[in-house]
Structure 1
Amino acid sequence: MNVVAPRTAPPANVVAGGWLRRYSPTADVRRRLLVLPHAGGSAGFFHSWGTAFDSFTELLVARYPGRHDRLGDPCVTAMDELADRVTEAVLPFLDVPLSIFGHSMGASLAHEVALRLGRRHGRVPAALHVSSRRPPHRLTPRALHEQGDDALIEEVRRLGGTDESVLGDPELREIVLPAIRADFTIVGTYGPRPADPVGCPVYAYIGDEDPGTSAKDMAAWSDVASGGFHLDVLPGGHFYLVEQHEPLLRSVRARLGSADGAPAPR
């Protein structure tokens, strides 16, 4: 089997009106992976994924407004609006099989985008990958967005994944808090919703020490998986994907290939 080595330099550019960061492959595109970050997260969190796939795989990472060089763009505070905007942004990239990966809030968003692609545009994703988030019909939203800044920061610290130097610096914290509050508003006002099937395989991932989501919770994603389901439980907490970077990516790479019928990237 011919195996193409991952790229060593991730050429990236901003597309779709600023909504996506695009890591272009060095050969003809055979497949795409859309990555949707967590609450308070950004495309930069997944920058290392830009070199993680073969030269036939194009990576698209969502760039939510209100952070980094989109700091001046108004934050989105409703899941339906965010899903509509991301779906619109990805429409020009459906000429090859598209898989979607979402972590935490991004998993709920991934499900909503997958539904919109199928229902409104007749383009069912090749696969849906969901990480560290209960399925829509098992959600129990918390109203953290209605509490003060200290409560939000404490929750971000509890989950991990955010640089403590940012949270501990009053000036930096003031910059990132609007986006964090907007995202937690999305999380706190979304669900429960019906277990609407997406028409494609669903792959779920969870850390075995996640403080807010269990393997049993993630197993319930099988209710939306009309094309098959598999659950991976990896060591770690809510941000297991940092420590388990390589094991997670090995699984995602293999499943990208099986989803589009081309040789699986290693």
Structure 2
Amino acid sequence: MSVIPQNHVSAWARSFQPADERAPRMVCFPHAGGAASYYFPVSRALAGKVEVLAVQYPGRQDRHREPAISNIHTLAAQVFRALPKDKVGRTWLFGHSMGAALAFEVARLMEAELNETPTGLIVSGRRAPSRIREEAVHRQDDAGLIATVAALGGTDPATFADPETRRLFLPALRADYTAIETYRPVGIPRVTCPIHAFVGDADPLTTLEEAKAWREHTSGTFSMRVFKGDHFYLTARADKVVAEVSQLILSTPSHP
């Protein structure tokens, strides 16, 4: 098994490539059950152009001894406190699935607590916070939880095949599903930074209309990009996704 090189910006953030302090920054938030290493290919593809930081949630990989957090607002607050604050005006937030909700809540905290606005927010594979579905995957037994996640195709099957790996993985996975399935923002929360929604055209968890509803959650500009694929379209179409991300970041002026 290859080892992914990484620098610990903090217990919460990983940097996989040398960073140019003049480059814009992108903070990446993994999906439920995901880890910082999921974004290694993105970091490698953007090396030299964008400083990529990948968030590492507790309860997985090198943080497997820490209890996972089962509340989106609590998790967002802890991520916010841990992230560097040196160039918020040159920072993009990118989140996929559960990570999109977290990225949105961290953007809200940046604007509320720091009085600074990130350059942009990219929300992938997640319906807008105002579009609620009643879901209870987190209440399923272990077999049901594994079957649901395996059907989405975003997790290495080896994770479930090895009993020890499965034992370590399941608590964090269940906590993540609890967090996102019980996420209920009050009213229609908004940010002032631009929001760009990415979605697969065959995503069973997010319809195009549910993705388009992110428009209601910003007083800034909004755009939406639709890719061929299901919930994990971004794995199958990594080159196209990275090209879109690069174009967005490098063509948008940062602000102080």
TM superposition score category, shorter chain reference: over 0.9
> Do structure 1's residue 173 and structure 2's residue 166 form an aligned pair?
yes
Q: Structure 1 residues 178 and 38, CA, compared in 2 at 3 Å: closer, same or farther?
A: same
Counterpart of 1:103?
96
Q: 1:18-97 to 2 correspondence within 5 Å?
A: 18-25=11-18, 27-94=20-87, 97=90
8 Å CA contact 1:83, 1:113 repeated in 2: yes
**Counterpart among 111, 123, 126 of residue 130 in structure 1:** 123
For structure 2, the 5+ residue unaligned runs are none
- What CA deviation, in whole Å up to 9, does each residue of 1:70-115 have, x standing for no partner? 1111111111110001111114343651100000000000110000
Q: Structure 1 residues 145 and 75, CA, compared in 2 at 3 Å: closer, same or farther?
A: same
Q: Structure 1 residues 171 and 185, CA, compared in 2 at 3 Å: closer, same or farther?
A: same
8 Å CA contact 2:33, 2:172 repeated in 1: yes
**Distance (whole Å) between structure 2 residues aligned to residue 259 and residue 215 of structure 1:** 25
Aligned residues between the structures:
252
Residue 100 of structure 2 aligns with an amino acid whose one-letter code is: A
Query: Partner of 1:242: helix, strand, or coil?
Result: helix
- What CA deviation, in whole Å up to 9, does each residue of 1:155-213 have, x standing for no partner? 10122110112213333211110110110110121125432221111111111111121
**Counterpart among 132, 143, 153 of residue 150 in structure 1:** 143
For structure 1, the 5+ residue unaligned runs are 1-9
Query: Partner of 2:223: helix, strand, or coil?
Result: strand
8 Å CA contact 1:87, 1:117 repeated in 2: yes
8 Å CA contact 2:197, 2:212 repeated in 1: yes
Q: Which moved more, 1:34-43 or 1:170-179?
A: 170-179
Counterpart of 1:205?
198
Counterpart of 1:215?
208
Superposition deviation, residue 54 in structure 1: 4.7
Residue 196 of structure 2 aligns with an amino acid whose one-letter code is: Y
8 Å CA contact 1:21, 1:63 repeated in 2: yes
- What CA deviation, in whole Å up to 9, does each residue of 1:126-160 have, x standing for no partner? 00000011111112241222221112112101221
Q: When the two structures are superposed, what TM-score results if normalisation uses the length of structure 2?
A: 0.92
Cα RMSD (Å): 1.8
> Do structure 1's residue 14 and structure 2's residue 13 form an aligned pair?
no
Counterpart of 2:222?
229
Superposition deviation, residue 11 in structure 1: 6.3
Residue 135 of structure 2 aligns with an amino acid whose one-letter code is: R
- What CA deviation, in whole Å up to 9, does each residue of 1:39-87 have, x standing for no partner? 0000111111121215242111000111111111111111111000111
Indicate the percent of aligned positions where both proteins have the same amino acid: 38
Query: Partner of 1:137: helix, strand, or coil?
Result: coil
**Distance (whole Å) between structure 1 residues aligned to residue 79 and residue 209 of structure 2:** 29
8 Å CA contact 1:39, 1:104 repeated in 2: yes
Task: Give every structure 1 segment of 4 or more consecutive aligned residues whose post-TM-superposition deviation is greater than 6 Å.
Answer: none
**Counterpart among 238, 241, 247 of residue 248 in structure 1:** 241
**Distance (whole Å) between structure 2 residues aligned to residue 11 and residue 179 of structure 1:** 23
Query: Partner of 2:149: helix, strand, or coil?
Result: helix
Q: When the two structures are superposed, what TM-score results if normalisation uses the length of structure 1?
A: 0.89
Query: Partner of 1:113: helix, strand, or coil?
Result: helix
Superposition deviation, residue 230 in structure 1: 0.9
Q: Structure 1 residues 221 and 119, CA, compared in 2 at 3 Å: closer, same or farther?
A: same
